[in-house]
Structure 1
């Protein structure tokens, strides 16, 4: 199958995804201290695509992650760290969490487009794609792999092909990435903003505990 904006061969897409891994790997480990700060008003301003927010609106800590679906470090975060964040902070009303699209290659863009069109299943689709990343991002037929994985989320082949032909959606996903780069200096994945403080690379559960504690108001 082919789509208008995928002018590269599938093998070229694999090469791009491999390059994205190398790009995203610097720095591979997060600094425990913030590498900068951005305005929360700007950070939470409107994007080309609406934010999908997990957690309570009144949570005192907001975490925004910029991720790429073909980034192994992003997949590691969602597999190894995110479940603890969800259990300890998001589900308890202490943190609201937002994942924003920052595709590093056309294949990651495609994955984000497909996840977006699943509506309220978007975050579940993202988790599924990260957990099975090796089954679609690093195969000889990545689009076929994507289709097979997303069948588990109820996405049929006809709808799959229609989404990937949606030029407007393609442009919106990339506008989210462009805003992250231009406004907030995002240049690698994953990049996190915790109440506006910027952290790049992988962050352990223990480090997130410390970062969140530093941003949580003391009990009165």
Structure 2
């Protein structure tokens, strides 16, 4: 676990050096909450992954509660997994309003059993009410996120980090909320 934290720090430092600045503003992924929230959650995920859907179903309500209270900044980073045909399609076609709406994120996971059976990308786009044109920023984001995945040596998704510490992908709502409350109480 501490090995992954060290890798995250190394990635951030490397990005700062390469960009010629002392701080790095990582804007990849789907972002919710206040930038200066005391807790940052980064979740590497896939819309088409069953385990990712299960994790979102378990924690989504709690995550939204803490986003709304200003206690967490939540970043979902979609990883392109080649065996999933619609994996990156959804992220590439989300518009600005959809990307900033946590309820839309939840809807995508909640309806996974329906859109996953559709026969073409066009049907998925229409079913979810996504934009017809690909978002060029999201295409670049996927490339960056997949590099992060390799640098972090992530073997599977979901992979969730709370303030840089990886948590088990089967964390329960109660365990999650206890962890968040423990961090908030130490602030």
Q: After TM superposition, is the score higher than 0.5?
A: yes
In terms of Rg, which structure is larger? 1
Give the whole-Å Cα distance in 1 for the aligned partners of 2:141 and 2:34. Answer: 25
Which residue is 1:67 aligned to? 45
Q: SS of 1:58's equivalent?
A: coil
Which residue is 1:131 aligned to? 110
Give the whole-Å Cα distance in 1 for the aligned partners of 2:54 and 2:186. Answer: 31
Alpha carbon RMSD of aligned pairs, Å? 3.0
Which residue is 1:102 aligned to? 79
Contact 1:102–1:180, Cα closer than 8 Å, also in 2? no
| TM-score, normalisation: structure 1 | 0.65
C-alpha displacement of 1:189: 0.9
Q: What stretches of structure 2 of length at least 5 have no aligned partner?
A: 14-22
Match among 29, 42, 45 for residue 12 of structure 2: 42
Give the whole-Å Cα distance in 2 for the aligned partners of 1:50 and 1:200. Answer: 23
Q: What stretches of structure 1 of length at least 5 have no aligned partner?
A: 1-32
Cα deviation per residue 1:137-185 (whole Å; 9 max; x = unaligned)? 134x14244133223xxx4xxx52x32xx7x557524313322212322
Q: SS of 2:186's equivalent?
A: coil
Give the whole-Å Cα distance in 2 for the aligned partners of 1:83 and 1:34. Answer: 28
Cα deviation per residue 1:43-95 (whole Å; 9 max; x = unaligned)? 99455x634431222321100111101011211222231112211x2211211
C-alpha displacement of 1:34: 7.6
Match among 41, 54, 60 for residue 76 of structure 1: 54
Contact 2:91–2:138, Cα closer than 8 Å, also in 1? no
C-alpha displacement of 1:97: 0.7
Contact 2:160–2:167, Cα closer than 8 Å, also in 1? yes
Give the whole-Å Cα distance in 1 for the aligned partners of 2:128 and 2:139. Answer: 22
Q: Which runs of 4+ in 1 moved over 6 A?
A: none
Give the whole-Å Cα distance in 2 for the aligned partners of 1:176 and 1:60. Answer: 25
C-alpha displacement of 1:209: 1.8
Q: SS of 2:41's equivalent?
A: strand
